Structure 1
Amino acid sequence: MCGAKSKSLAFTGLLLNCLELIFSANTGLSVSIYDVTSQSISLRWPKFSGASSYRVTATAVNTVGHSLLAHFSDVTFKTTLTSLIPNTVYAIQAEAIDKNGIILAETQITQSTVLAAPILSVSSPNCDSIALSWKAVYMAAGFSVSLMRSDGLGRMLRENTTNTSLIFTNLDPGTLYTIKAYAWNANGMPGDDFTYNQRTSPNAPADVKVAFNSGALRVSWMPTEGALTYSVTASNGLLKLKCNTSSSSCMVPSLQCSSEYYVSVTAYNDAGSSKPTDAVSLKTIPCAPVNISIEEDEPGHLLVSWSSVSFGHYYVVFVKSDDGLEVHCNTSYTQCHFQSDCGFTYFISVFAYNKAGQSPLGDVFNYTTAPCCPSDFRAVFVSSDTVRVTWAPVRGADLYETRAAAWSTVVLCNDTAPTCTLSALQCNTRYHITVHSFSEARGSNTSCAPKHVATAPCSPEIKNVSKEGLSVISVQWQSNNEDATYVVTARGEAGLWHCTSTGSSCTLTDLPCGSAFSVSAIARSPAGQSLPSYSVPLETAPCCPNDLILTQVTQSVTNISWSAGKGAQTYVTTLESPKGQAKCGTLQNYCLLGCITCGTNYTVSLKAISETGLTSSCTYQGYSSSACCPSGVKLYRLSNNGIRVFWRASDETINYSTDLRGSKGNFTCTPSTGQSHCDITEIPCGDVYTVVVAPLTDKDLKLTFCPKKIYSVTCSGSSVGMVIYRGKSNAEHI
């Protein structure tokens, strides 16, 4: 076939030469074809004199289709016609054209494209073969396929076939091969070729070795040609473990103990996988023994037993006491005997062995022999219902139980320390206290002797607190203690007050007013002192203010002020007379009382009230309101530049004072008792005067709150003229 291909090419060349010679002889334009593929034809020509461009047209002869047209400049003398139809005859026409578009010369030649290359699908079904397949090529009469190692070693294999598939066998495993294939037509002319590189799948690894190492499986092998990766599979029938690597060894972790694994290795490359190697068997280390039981079959002897382990050839039991001493037992059976001592804790572990090694560490058991009775203990009360018990520690005791029993009541305390505090004991009770050592494995040692302890008396319960007098309080309580003395305490900011009794009541005296107290009681006996009773609040009535001052503000309003009364929060003041009553309640230490009748005698009282409503009634010296201001105050003109002030007196026994104040002078006159007018001589005219008439107190002091009136005194020549009333003044009192 390779010879037929050579003859066909020679014939084509001869045909082209003939056409070129004929064309050259007739036209002077020669065209030669120098390369043909399934989709292209390459041609060239020499420069034609006078041509400024060239035009090449290719038209399919035996196929319906459009023509291909190409233009070239005068400097282009070759081209490749592409996108042609495979195995098709084309008529190719070349034209030399001058700059005016006139064809100077032309020629035509016929050329056929070759068959298209077959597109291969390649695989390596096993380590020594390569399988190929391809789709049929149009107009192909047969196919030629060659195969050779890519490194050039060995001989080339060639196969001719009319089929569309082929298998090469007896190849080298894991080797890269170069494959070439082409089709030929009925005339034996070859088409385009297709090249592909394919590697054969690897051979199975050789010399597989397995070893058990620290719970993992180490697998090694000899590398195989062409393998890129390896996969190790270890199976025990229920579980498959895998390990992938690119080296020649691999570690498979997490092997199950007491199992037999079958191990195989598979090589991989881009072509596929090898066959797995023959399985290698490996037995793992035995599992740790289970169902371990420890019992003291008789005092001083321990029996350790366990269940049999698969693939376990023999067993070793290690027993270590808490003082550091260790002994062991080697046996092919499932039990061992050891000597033991009282009050010791033993730590016991069991291992199984086979050729692969020692089983992993299983559960470590501890066994404690019965502890001894604690030595002499002490019981000391730390409060009325709490006793602290201490003792010397004993060997082998994990826990101590302290028990306090009285009648049907039992109080327990468990602790790992050689001390315990028993709380919430019943008061006024005799207890039997016992300390037992305890081991979780062996229980308690109940041979310890008890001690007898009596608790402190019960706390009294205050039933009633009552007032017997201003500063005397009686306290009553209830208690069932025997031979107890009771102490009652009133505690407050003012200090401490006590009373003592062997009965059920006592009296607190000389308590200060306005004070708050907390009253509690305790009981005492030879066994100790009780907890205090619940406190009862006590409050004494507030103290009366020491100082009280009354000041008349206006004719009908009086201001009362006082010093603070201890313990008082609010105050109520009262002024009372046969004519009526004035009352004021306040949180302050002063108050304004209205509706006061002038010239009246009042009794003064004050109530001091605490926050809780306790009241103290306080009485003070009587109070007399001031005399009433006169009414009907008027001015009259007198002869010789004088003025008379007239009023209506509220009481003929009261003395009055008259004041006139103006811009030209101030004038005062005081009439005799019983008179209701007063004369002022030589008063300047032509001025406005403010007139006030006020009663005088016992100390001849003028009242400052009587009303003022305004009068204008005109002049008549140099003498006083008319007196005109201008109304009342709102200015301050004078």
Structure 2
Amino acid sequence: MGTVKWMTIFVLLGSCLQDSASQDLVASVFTATSKSVTVAWENQIAATTSCRVSAALLSDPDTIVAFSVFDPQVIMGTVNMLTPNTNYYLSIDVLDVAETVLGTETIGVITAPEVMAPISSVVSKDSTTFEVEFTLVTGATHYIVRIQNSEGFFREDEVPSSPAEIPSLTPYTEYSLSIMAVNRGGRAQPSLSVTAKTVLAPPVLTTSSASTDTIDVSWGAIDQAAKYIVSIHLDSLEDTTEQETTGTSVTISGLEAGQLYVINCWALDAEDVTGETSSEVTQVTIPPTPTVSVSSTVNGDGVTELTVSWTFDPEVWGEITGNVNNVDLSCTSTTGSCVLSPVGCGEQHSIQVIVSNAAGSGAPTDSEVFTSFPCQPGSLEHSEISDGNCQMTWEAVDYAAGYIANVLRSDSTLQECDTASPICSFTCECGYMYLMSVYAYNDAGESTPVKKNFTTLSCCPNDVEISTISTETLQATWTSTRGAVLYQTKATLDSDVIVCNDTAPECALSDLLCDTTYSVVVTPCNDISGCNTECQSHSVTTAPCTPTDVSLTEVDQSTYTVTWTGNNVEADYTASAVSDEGTVTCTSSSTTCDLSSLLCGTIYEVSVKASGDAGESLSSYSQTLETVPCCPETLSVNQATQSMSNVVWSEAKGGSSFVASLTSTNGDARCHTADNECLMGCITCGTSYTVELEVINHRGQKKDCTFEGFSSSACCPTYVRLYRTASVNTLYIYWRNSDSEHDHVAEILDTEYSCNAAAGTSGCDIPDIQCGATYHVVVSPLNAEGEKSLFCPERLYEVSCLDDNIGTVLYRGKRSVE
């Protein structure tokens, strides 16, 4: 039967037996070794005569490999002859006298590992610890090291593997050590023991440093120690120095000041076996005397302080505390510097520094004498020693190595003096503000500067331009000058002074006298240094005076003489006649001139202006000049009727009324009107007229204008009659002919009937007249161009019929031309 099957049956059977006889038979493993297992049981089954414990391999549960039989009163039994580190089934059977099984309990078990070989190596790691090494065995879950000595010490330490440490032992003591392998079944028998001895205990060190190059080391005596070795090296280096002694203290010399040393010590027994090394101890030597430097600074609150610094060469180890002592001040610091505060100017201080570290204090430094920065120079003054050259002076102060004097001009130009004496020369130009400052200095630093400012006089303008802007006003302009905030411009005439104050570089001087010479000066000023009264003056003459008493005298219709009063010492004059059409001028150096070529019909404003080197005067009051009106450019005469004509003319500039005249030997016609036309009657026919027009302005000035002559139309014939003639249907028109110079035409209006008559004749025939009709008959003279007069009247005739011919011709009246 296979192992898995037996395991299944064993589990099920054991479960059933426990359920049925759980109160009668209970078994458990008491202990297991490499080759045996001891089982304990409780049996409550009656009729028991013996108990049997048998073992079978887990891999072959049907084969019993070992068994033991015990009396009924026995409650614990052992099965021997087993294999180490092997899994077994153990059966505990209760038998009666017939060896019948009354009850069974089955238990699975594994035997302990095999007995191990002795420990292969035991080393005293320190005075209380062994380090052991051994050969591992198969199946062991861990190991037990047994330690004991002749004084009754016994201990078992569980260890996981090899190598392993055995701690908490007694120094310089001999021990016996064996080892056992352990698995889940139990532990094997101990191996053969080995003997080992712990080393001497470590010394407990105490160190100190009494000087910059020594360290004292001491410790308590170690039992069984024959001698001691002290090892020392710099913390930063591995080079070690050893010193041997049989005592319990040693002084190590030749060391470096202020350095950290690492110290160890160990004991040796009489056989020179080295004991456990002591714990490392560090000890610093007394610090050396530092190098001291002193400097002066000013803190954020404006307080002057002395910063005392100390340094070491080479550098020392660890925190160094410096104590700085002065007569009145002291400070302590661990940062390599500290501050003595407050410190005044111009003081001398004797400073000493003592440094210390964990070992103690070093020797004090030599006294360092420090002189503080100088005090502020006093009484700063300046003076101008020559034009453009100034000098500043001040009071000297103690402990000053020299002085730095600065002169800062307002345009940021800087002048500087580095001098040992309290005086400095510098250039000073006009129109600048100067900020003077001076401070003293020495090796400790600088004093607070003393400052003072001053402003030089503003610069004079050198490009003053003065111009005349009216007869009573001068305008002065110039380029702004350095340092000036206000300009005072004066025009002086004897004791009379005109003043103009302005911040701009220009000024108008008003209310001056015309044609007068003034002395003008521009003076620049500022609020600090006042006004510069050394500027150059300028002689300026104002413009000429205005002419007065202007009068006009007519020379002819286009020329006038202008006369005026000059009022100037010397001037030229210009008379101007200004109109909408333009300007007419004349010039003279006296008080009269002629304005000629004036336009007709024009209104002029005449004024006179004086001019000279200083400019022009204002114009005089003007006089109004109106010239005679102009003739119209065109005039025409149009005959309206036989006795009336219409005269029309173009606009006549300046004319406000007109008188039109038609003049002939037969009589005259005249018309006065404000219009540009006039209807004139009483015109004689066939007459030549002279045409004239008189143009009059609103002031009554007249202009006579003559135009081309006008001839009235020829006179119409009179006594016009219509007669029947001997010829069939022919009429004869007759008229009285007083005009022998013109041809005539006779017309029957609204028909095609007409006839012409030559000059000097008084009638003509009109044939083919239709009788039985009324006719309008007109006879008109013809001019040289063959044009008929339009002003002759019509006559109305009624023509009756007589058979096929014209009958009676009756006159019905006359109608004039419409």
Which of 1 and 2 has greater Rg?
2
TM-score, normalised by the number of residues in structure 2: 0.40
TM-score, normalised by the number of residues in structure 1: 0.44
